[in-house]
Structure 1
Amino acid sequence: MSNKHLSPVMGAERIHSIDVIRGLAIFGIFFVNMPSFFAPVLYLNPQDWWSGELNQWIQSTVDIFAQASFYTLFSFLFGFGMILFKERAIAKGYSFYPLITRRLFVLLLIGCLHAFFVWHGDILITYAVVGAILLLFHKAKPITLLIWALVLVFVPNLFLGGMMFLAVMFDPELSAVMYNEQLAHKSAEIYAAGGFWEITIQRIQDWYYVNNVVSIFALVITLLPMFLLGAFIAKKKWFEGRDEDIKKVKILWLISLVIGVPMKLLPYYTAKNAATDYLQDTIGGPGTAVLYATSVVLLMRLPIWKKLLSPLAFVGRLSLSNYLFQSIVCTLLFYGYGLGLYGKVELYTGFILTIVIFIVQIGLSYLWLKKFRFGPFEWIWRTLTYAQKVDIRKKAIRE
C-alpha cells in the first residue's frame, strides 16, 4: 500500500496502566486547581482567605497529597508519551520532526486559547515549551536521561532551598512577601462581577504574574526533569507490565517513597516557611508523582485493584478534553459571565464539587468512548498534527 496512514495509538497498543495514571493525574490536578477557580489564591495565602477547622483540614490534605504532585506526574506522562509517539512514527516510516513540531505547536495554540479566554492557570503552554526543550534529549540513551533528570531535580533545588533557609533565618516573614492583598481583592471583584472582556484582561494579567520571564527558569527545573524521567521509563519499557520489570518498578516505588513522603511532610514536622514550602514542592512533588505512578503499575497487577482503578482510564484516554472541560465548567460556575459564585464558596464545598464533577467526567468519558475513538480536543490535536482528517467515529476503524 503506497499511501501510508499514521493513525493514533488505539486498542491493544495502549498501555492500560498509563491511561489509569493519566486519569489519576487529571483528578489530582483538579483538586489543586479548584480553589483558584473561585478565590484569588494566586495573590493570597489560602489560610488568610478561608477560616474554620474544616477548611484548614482540606487545605492541608490537598497540600500533602496533591500540591506539586500531579502537574509533575502529568509532566512525567508527557515525556513518556513523546517517546511512544516517536517510536510509532518511525515504525510507520514517517519523519518524526515535522510531526512533533506540529504536535507541540497545536498544543501551544490550544494552551493560549485556554489561558487567555478560559482560565489563567493553564499548564499546556508550559508543556509545549518544555516539550520543545525535551527534543534536545530524545535521541539520548536511557542512562543519560536519568542522570539529567536527577541532576536537574536535586542540584538547583537543594541549592535554592538551602539559600532560602539562610534567608528565612534572617527574615522569618519571607513567604509573606509573595502575597499582595490589594491585587487579590481587585481580581476577586472582577471575576465575581465583571463581563467577559473585563475578566479576559484580568486573566491575561494573572497568567503573566505566574508565567513571566523570571519564572521560566523555575518552571524548566521543575518540569523538564519529569519529562526526562518519563522518557527514561518509556525507553526502558518498565511500565508495560512485563514480569521481569516489576522488581525494578518496586525499587523505584521504594526510592520515591523514601524521598517523596518525608519531603512532602517537611513543613509539618519542622517549620512552615518559604524554604520548607519550596523543598516540599520541588523535591517532594516529583517524589510523590513517581510514587503514585509506580503504585498504579503495581496495583494494576492485582485483579481487585485493577477493577477499582480502571474507571480512571476512561478519563485518562480523554485527558486533554477532560482537563479543558474542568476549566470551562468551573469558570461558568464561578465567573461573572456565568453564575457569578466567585468568592462565595468555602474550600470544603470546592473539595466536594471536585469529586462530584470528576465522577460525572468518568461517566461522560465512558459514554463518549462507546461511540468515539478519542475526545473532541484530542481529535482536533491529532487532525492538525497529522495534517489530515482523522476519523473520530469507532465504526470507522478498519484493519
Structure 2
Amino acid sequence: MVDGPAPAPSLLTVAEKGERLVTLDVLRGVAVMAILLANLPGFAFPDPAYSNPMAWGGTRPIDLGAWFLTETFVNGRMRGLFSLLFGASTLLILQRADAAGLNGASIHLRRMAVLFLFGLVHLTFIWPGDILTHYALVGVIALGFVGLSARALCWTAIAMAGLSMAMGWLECFGLFAAAARDTPQSVALWDLYQLAFGTPDPARLAPEIAAMRGSWAASTAYRLANNGNPLFDLIQIGPDTLSAMLLGMAALKSGFLTGQWPRRRYRRWAAFGITLSCAAYAAMASAVMASGYDVRAVALVELFLNVPFRLIGTLGYAALILLLLRPGGWWTVRIAAAGRMAFTNYLATSIVMTLIFYGHGLGQFAHWTRASLYLLVAPMWGLMLLWSKPWLDHFGQGPLERSWRAGVRAGFDRPR
C-alpha cells in the first residue's frame, strides 16, 4: 500500500460522530411542538393580535382565557428553549469539527449562510414569522464567544439580557412620550406601535386580511412589501436571542443539558424557574388586562419586563423536561425523533398552517376565534410524533436536515 496524505474527514461524519445526545433531541422536540402554541395567532390573525388579544380573535372569556394561559405558561419560553438549544448545538458542532481536524469556525459560518437562505425563502414565500434568518445572523455573532468558560458565558448572557432590557426601555420611553400625540411625529410613532402591539382600527388591518385570504401571489407581494428587515431585527432583539444562545453554550459545558447534574439540582431549577417565571408572566398578563389592553402596557411587557423571566423560565422548563425524560420510553423516543427533525417539522408546521389559513389553501385567515385555534394543536403534534420516527428509521435524516447538510458540505468533500 502506498502511503499518502490522509483524506479530509467528511463533514457528514463529523456532524454524526459519536452517539446523539438524546437530551438535546428531546428538548428540541418539545420546543418545536410547544412553539406552535405561541405561533398559532401569528398564522391565523393580523399581526397585532399576536401580542394583544383585543386586536383580533374574539373577546369572549374563553378567548381571553386562552390568551392568558398562553402568556402565563408558554409565551417566550419556547422560543427561549429553541435559542438555548441553538447555542448548545453550535458549540457541539464546533467541538466535533475541531476534534476531527476540520475548521470548525468555517463550517459554522457555512451553516449560518445556508440557514439564512432557507430563512429568506420561508420569510418571503411561506410565513412572515420566520426565525431562521434571525438565528443565522445571531449565530454568526455567537461564534465569538465559544471559547469562554461556562461561568463567563453565563455572565455574558446576563449582560446581553441587560442590554436587551435597556433597548426595550428606550423603545417604551419613546412610546410613552408619543402618547400625547401633539405633533405629526408623535402621532406617526403612536400609530406605528398600535399596529405592532395595540388595537388599531379594523380598517388598518383590512389590507393584511385581504392579502392573506387572497392568492399565494397576493400574500407573497404583501410580505415583500411589509416584512421587516432581518438586520433591523438583529439590532432590536439580537441581544435577547444572543443571551439565550450563550446560556445554551454554558448549559452544555456545565453538563446541565447532557443530564449530568444530580436530579435534586434539576428539581430545584424546575421548581424555581417555572414557578417564578409563570407567576411573573401571570402578573404581567393581569396588569395588561387591568390596563384595558393599553398599547403602552403591552409594549412594556413585551419589550422590557419579560426578558429576565423568559430566561429563568426557559431553564426551568429545560430542567423539568430532563427530569421527565425516560430513555427508551415510547414518548421519549418519539419526541426525540421529532427533535432530530426539528428543522423539517418547523417548516412543515408553517406549510400546514398557512394552507389552513391563507387563500392558496382553505382561506381561513381572521375567521377563527382565538380559543378555537388550539383545536389544531393535537393533530399537528400527532403528525410530528407519528411521522418523524418512521422517516428517520428509513432515511436517517429529515429531508430539510439533509438539504442543510448538503449545502454546508459543498466544498468540504470535494476531491483534492
Interval containing the TM-score (normalised by the shorter chain): 0.7 to 0.9
The two structures, once aligned, show a CA RMSD in angstroms of 3.0
CA spacing shift, 1:266–1:278, aligned 2, 3 Å:
farther
More off after superposition, 71-80 vs 170-179: 170-179
Q: Deviations over 1:37-83 (max 9, x none)?
A: 12113467332322222222211121212211111110000000001
Contact 2:114–2:407 (Cα < 8 Å) also in 1: yes
Which residue number in structure 2 is paired with residue 336 of structure 1?
359
Task: Report deviation, 1:357.
Answer: 1.4
Question: Percent sequence identity over matched residues?
Answer: 25
Report the TM-score, using the length of structure 1 for normalisation.
0.86
CA distance in 1, matches of 2:98, 2:244: 24
Of 277, 301, 307, which aligns to 1:260? 277
Of 285, 308, 323, which aligns to 1:298? 323
The letter of the residue matching 1:48 is A
Contact 2:72–2:285 (Cα < 8 Å) also in 1: no
CA spacing shift, 1:199–1:134, aligned 2, 3 Å:
same
Which residue number in structure 1 is paired with residue 206 of structure 2?
185
More off after superposition, 168-177 vs 73-82: 168-177
Of 120, 135, 147, which aligns to 1:112? 120
Which residue number in structure 2 is paired with residue 27 of structure 1?
33
Aligned pairs for 1:176-215 (under 5 A) are 176=194, 178=196, 179=198, 180-181=200-201, 182-192=203-213, 194-208=214-228, 211=229, 215=233
CA distance in 1, matches of 2:53, 2:230: 22
CA distance in 1, matches of 2:158, 2:28: 23
Task: Report deviation, 1:340.
Answer: 1.4
User: Is structure 2 residue 10 aligned with structure 1 residue 5?
Assistant: yes
Unaligned regions of 5+ residues in structure 2, if any? 182-189, 290-296
Aligned pairs for 1:70-89 (under 5 A) are 70-89=78-97
Task: Report deviation, 1:205.
Answer: 3.4
Contact 1:162–1:275 (Cα < 8 Å) also in 2: no
Aligned pairs for 1:165-184 (under 5 A) are 176=194, 178=196, 179=198, 180-181=200-201, 182-184=203-205
The letter of the residue matching 1:47 is M
Contact 2:157–2:243 (Cα < 8 Å) also in 1: yes
Of 343, 367, 380, which aligns to 2:403? 380
The letter of the residue matching 1:313 is A
Of 223, 226, 230, which aligns to 2:241? 223
More off after superposition, 370-379 vs 327-336: 327-336
Q: Deviations over 1:249-296 (max 9, x none)?
A: 445435524642332223245455232444453222222111111111
CA distance in 2, matches of 1:350, 1:301: 31
Q: Secondary structure at the match of 2:55?
A: helix
Contact 1:320–1:377 (Cα < 8 Å) also in 2: yes
CA distance in 1, matches of 2:276, 2:159: 15
More off after superposition, 338-347 vs 165-174: 165-174
Of 325, 329, 344, which aligns to 1:321? 344
Contact 1:168–1:275 (Cα < 8 Å) also in 2: no
The letter of the residue matching 2:311 is P
User: Is structure 2 residue 107 aligned with structure 1 residue 99?
Assistant: yes
User: Number of paired residues?
Assistant: 384
CA distance in 2, matches of 1:236, 1:47: 43
The letter of the residue matching 2:316 is L
User: Is structure 2 residue 71 aligned with structure 1 residue 48?
Assistant: no
Unaligned regions of 5+ residues in structure 1, if any? 391-399
CA distance in 2, matches of 1:287, 1:322: 26
